[in-house]
Structure 1
Amino acid sequence: MRNLKLIILREYLARVRNKTFVIMTFLSPIIMVCMIVLVAYLSNLNSDDSKIIAIHDENNTFYKEFPSTDNITYLDYSSLPIEVALDSIEKKDYYGLLFFPKSEDNQYLSNHVEFFANKAPGISFISDIEGKISTVLTNKELQQRGVDVNEINNSKTNVNLQIENFSGEETSKLSNYVKMFFGGAAGYLLMMFIIIYGNMVMRSVIEEKTNRIIEVIISSVKPMQLMIGKILGTSFAGITQFAIWIFFGGILLFTVTTVFGIDLQASAPVSPTQMDAGSQEEIQKIILDILNLPLAKLIFCFLIYFIGGYFLYSSVYAAIGAAVDNETDTQQFMFPIIVPLMLGIYVGFFSVISDPHGVVSTVFSYIPLTSPVVMLMRIPFGVAWWEILLSMAILVLSIFVLVWVAAKIYRVGILMYGKKPTYKELYRWMKY
């Protein structure tokens, strides 16, 4: 046990004292904050970019349906001939001209309204204008048929289906979106942690093997202790790095936005001042749904699956590092690691979200290579404790088996040099 502690401490200090590790620990949050601030700044510039659009309406009925807004000013150019209007706006700093040809046929107008501009407008702008024109033409068509548009608008009813299971727990569509976000974020975070710090374990083993340091270390400690010590030491270094990212990044983001007066809310599609009562009510519902989540259960399960998933995959990374002489040779062995992780993410986003209690979602939440990701995404939707405990038991049992197998490969591989191993060779090492 004393040797294991020394290995963990040595690996941890070797990681945190590494120049690249230190630089990336403090440089990564700076880069992320700069990206967030840049997006917010560009959004502010974009929101301040007001447009002037001329309207040439030969029917004299559509211009009044386009009231000016904070970002778009509509001007009536219907009194001028179309050629004169086009020549006029081309000389001025106008965004473009919207032309409605003379016609009483709404179907004809729907395909012959034109927008003239010096530069091609964006897709969102086109969609917005098309939506407004569609609404105007639809209302006009209804009026021509003697249908009261106000009556139709007043008769529209939004349905918000309330869902309740047999145990009395209530949920809603909005609540499911919140659960989907939390589950997806947890699964994706776990996958990224495994890939980043699993590779760090593998590179550490390759480095010591290449420098022949491993031959000295292995004379005083068991291979199993060395492998587990590397995994735990690297994981503690990773947790330290994550904690610094969150703490330092939060302080840096607050400082930069305060000093330079950048409003991050301006990058949102709708600012708080533009929100109506309905939007504010939706936000309150989201906050309430978050508070109603089984947070204690989520945190407990996240920690178990986080530790279990990382330990499961890191042992494989360590075995791969011991089997090869350089990082280039690891590519042939990465397939069994990346595929289950990606499969877990795809099953989570395409199967769990559509049917969290379906056969596919349930089966993959028991398979140890995918359960850390899939089960984390299922838990917010409500999973019985016996299912979670069964999945954890299978995961823990698989960790013991896989660590034992990885240790067999590790024990032989760390002393093998100058030979490019194959899967057949690894299988033979497992039987030593």
Structure 2
Amino acid sequence: MHKLPLIIKREYLAKVRNRSFIVMTILSPLLFVGMAALVFFLTKANNEEKKVMAILNESDFFQDQFRDDTSLSFVDFRGMPVEAAKDSAQHAAYYGLLYIPKGGDIEKVANSIELFCKESPGLGTLSSVENVIRNNVREVKLRNFGVPDEVLGELGKNYEISVENFTGEKKLRGINEIKAFIGGGFGYLIMMFIIIYGAFVMRSVIEEKTSRIIEVIISSVKPFQLMLGKIIGNSLAGITQFVIWIICGTILLFLLAGFLGVSVGELGGSRIPPEAADAMSGISGGMQEKAQLYLAELLKISWGILLVSFVIYFVLGYLIYSSIYAAIGAAVDNETDTQQFMFPVILPLMLAIYVGFFSVFNNPHGPIAVGFSLFPLTSPIVMLMRLPGGIGAGGVPVWQFVTSIVLLIATFLFIVWLAAKIYRVGILMYGKKPSYKEMYRWLKYS
């Protein structure tokens, strides 16, 4: 094993000196920020577009019920024939025409209302119109039953249950979903980098195999050492990239904090900086209090533990999957032949993302979330979704966190042992497309 450090060094330097690696290390943070800014800008521009809808009301109901708001305004076509109103709305390029026919019963009228549109309307617009109709029908029916107007006003109020733990500390609605979304972002990064860096290992093996240089290398190095060196060398290159991004992000945080006049030390505690409180001063009382509670809750997240866990799970997850990638690269002659083996490798990662989001959002400590956060092929992603809730004391139990890491290490040792058997045989196989059955037979070779 004395040659292993030389292999690791060679793979590491070959990766970090690569021009594409240097360019992506510098550009990736800027691209992420740019993409986030673009999505925000496009979403804001889309939401600011105001739709104009014509309304033709032939009934005695729903008078002055449809009022303009920030996203939808109405033009009254009262007195026009239906066909003329449809033509006018179409030629004026209105979003649509809401037609309310005649009738003596409000429920029959409501069931006969039609919306004419050039294209299928969005769910948000439909819900807005339907809510107006539903509320007005309900109000008229209650009035017919003799319910006073002041009681009708009381019925429209919203009521929220105050949630607290047994010590009296307030719990916020939806905070688990927000934390799971943050953890899901880290988990998604792990999935992307496992796929990217695992593919690097596979391509490196294929290139050396097709150029026949591998025959020279293994004359002085054992195949297992070569495979392990490639895996660890690329892993260190990935960690180097993460460290550079963390340093750049920290520098940007300090610069931004200095520009805003915020002490960076205040960001690590649960107390809300006065500058943040001032920024929320324009929000109404109840909303401002809620915003402060949410911000305080997010500041309580142990970001240091989350970042360290991110590196740990990335390295262990990468070691497992890159071993599989290396075995696949050794078994084939070109990258085209890898397609039949890729889907079973990527499937657990995709499963972790989707199942993790659905399970952790609804019940972060439920059996499905716990099971997937312990299963080694999905735990690097699902466990990170649960970690923003903390470790111990209401968060992820310490035993689950430790068990998932131990299982990852044991799984890596087992998979690298299996992958080495395939690697040792497949690295010198040429001109034949391997099958799962043949690779299984390779595992039996001593």
> TM-score of the superposition, structure 2-length normalised?
0.77
1:378 is displaced (CA, Å) by 3.3
Counterpart selection for 2:397 from 384, 398, 401:
384
Aligned to 1:361: 369
1:190, distance to aligned residue in structure 2 (A) = 1.8
Separation of aligned partners in 2, 1:314 and 1:330: 14
Q: 2 CA distance for matches of 1:178 and 1:133?
A: 33
Give the corresponding residue for 1:235.
Answer: 235
Q: Helix, strand or coil: the match of 2:97?
A: strand
Check conservation: 1:183, 1:380, Cα contact below 8 A.
yes
What is the CA–CA distance in structure 2 between the aligned matches of 1:299 and 1:53, rounded to whole Å?
50
Match of 2:257 in 1: none
| Equivalent residue letter for 2:64 | K
Residue aligned with 1:146, SS:
coil
**How many matched pairs?**
411
Q: Cα 1:78–1:306, aligned 2, differ >3 Å: closer, same or farther?
A: same
Pair 366,37 (structure 1): closer, same or farther in 2 beyond 3 Å: closer
Say whether residues 1:405 and 2:406 are aligned partners.
no
**Which deviates more, 78-87 or 388-397?**
78-87
Change (3 A) 1:373 1:77: closer
Within the candidate set 415, 429, 432, 2:428 is matched to: 415
| One-letter amino acid of the structure 2 residue matched with residue 228 of structure 1 | L
Moved more, 4-13 or 274-283: 274-283
Alignment-derived partner of residue 293 in structure 1: 301
* Distance in 1 between residues matched to 2:70 and 2:170, nearest whole Å: 41
Matches within 5 A, 1:52-91: 52-59=52-59, 61-80=61-80, 85-86=85-86, 88-89=88-89
Q: Once the two structures are superposed, what CA deviation does each residue of 1:172-206 show, in whole Å capped at 9, x if it has no partner?
A: 43221123213322332222221221111111111
Which deviates further from its counterpart, 79-88 or 228-237? 79-88
Unaligned runs of 5+ in 2: 253-279, 390-394
Partners of 1:75 and 1:278 in 2: how far apart?
35
1:65 Cα deviation (Å)? 1.8
> Which shifted more, 334-343 or 287-296?
334-343
| Residues 83-139 of structure 1: per-residue CA shift (max 9 Å, x gap) | 665555555454443332232311111112233455554343222212222222222
Q: Distance in 2 between matches of 1:170 and 1:44?
A: 32
Write the distance in 2 (CA, Å) between the matches of 1:158 and 1:207.
65
Deviations 1:253-297 (A, max 9, x none): xxxxxxxxxxxxxxxxxxx99975555444333322212234343
CA contact (8 A) 1:142 1:149 kept: no
CA root-mean-square deviation: 3.7
Q: Which has the higher contact order (CA 8 A, sep 6+)?
A: 1
Corresponding residue SS for 1:54: strand
1:96-245 equivalence runs, <5 A: 96-117=96-117, 121-155=121-155, 156-164=157-165, 171-239=171-239
Deviations 1:394-413 (A, max 9, x none): 22222223223323332333
Find the residue that maps to 2:146 and give its secondary structure. coil
| Amino acid corresponding to residue 349 of structure 2 in structure 1 | L
Q: In structure 2, give the amino acid aligned to 1:125.
A: T
What amino acid sits opposite 1:317 in the alignment? Y
Of 346-355 and 81-90, deviating more is 81-90
Please tell me the residue identity of whatever aligns with 1:391: S
* Structure 1 counterpart of 2:317: 309
Counterpart for residue 268 of structure 1: none
TM-score w.r.t. length of structure 1: 0.79
Residue 394 in structure 1 maps to residue 394 in structure 2: no
Q: Which amino acid aligns with 1:140?
A: V
| CA contact 1:224–1:407 (8 Å) conserved in 2 | yes
3-state SS of 1:334 partner: helix
| CA shift for structure 1 position 238 | 3.4
1:396/1:139 CA distance change after superposition, 3 Å: same
Contact 2:356-2:372 at 8 Å conserved across structures: no
Does the residue aligned with 2:348 lie in a helix, a strand or coil? helix
Q: Distance in 2 between matches of 1:89 and 1:364?
A: 54
Tell me, in whole angstroms, the C-alpha distance in 2 between the residues paired with 1:384 and 1:227. 36
Contact 1:139–1:149 at 8 Å: present in 2 too?
Answer: no
Asked whether the equivalents of residues 187 and 372 of structure 1 are also in contact (C-alpha less than 8 Å), the reply is yes
Q: Identify the residue that residue 269 of structure 1 maps to in structure 2.
A: none
| Unaligned residue ranges in structure 1 (runs of 5+) | 252-271
Rounded to whole Å, the distance in 2 between the matches of 1:411 and 1:276 is 68
